[in-house]
Amino acid sequence: MFHSTTILAYKGENESVIGGDGQVTFGNTVLKNNAVKIRKLYNGNILAGFAGSTADAFNLFDMFENILEQKKGDLLKSVVEFSKEWRKDKYLRRLEAMMIVLNREHIFILSGTGDVVEPEDGQIAAIGSGGNYAISAARALNKHSQLGGEGIVKESLKIAADICIYTNHSIKTFILKDEKE
């Protein structure tokens, strides 16, 4: 379990959305309330979020972005190659970190143990200490509300922030929409 963050991703019919809270903690102390733990990668065509330490995030985002460039933005090939590299690296494989990456076709959860997991529903994924709260809320809102993808992500993260002490209400989202919209 990774404390101090909640990242939620949603891949809908016409848009993909990633969101994260802004709280950074050290032990039981809040260090920062407005950190941005999500990024747009590969010319804005890939969304990514991170749960773990800040220094690890920068290293892993850079490593993943380099692989995306090598694979010309092919997310499926990139996550497989990234997982191999992450797992093979003696230092990086010890990181207690996870990532979510998505585009309009795929959504994946990645870990240093070599996991490349596409959610069973192919639509919603969450990581971090508030991840279980956020994904539960997102599944319910997706099924029983008329909210769009960004609304589902924001409301689910707010619910997680109400429950998880390592998650706050300083929420940031990024969206990918189909070009015909």
Tokens standing for residue 175: 């969206």
Contact in structure between 8 and 124 (CB atoms under 8 Å): yes
- Going from the C-alpha of 123 to that of each of 10, 53, 105, 143, 153, the distances in angstroms are 6, 26, 10, 12, 12
**Which one of the listed residues 5, 6, 167, 173 is annotated catalytic?**
5
Place of tokens 């994924």: 125
Contact in structure between 45 and 178 (CB atoms under 8 Å): no
Is-catalytic flag, 6? no
Question: Which sequence positions are flagged as catalytic?
Answer: 5
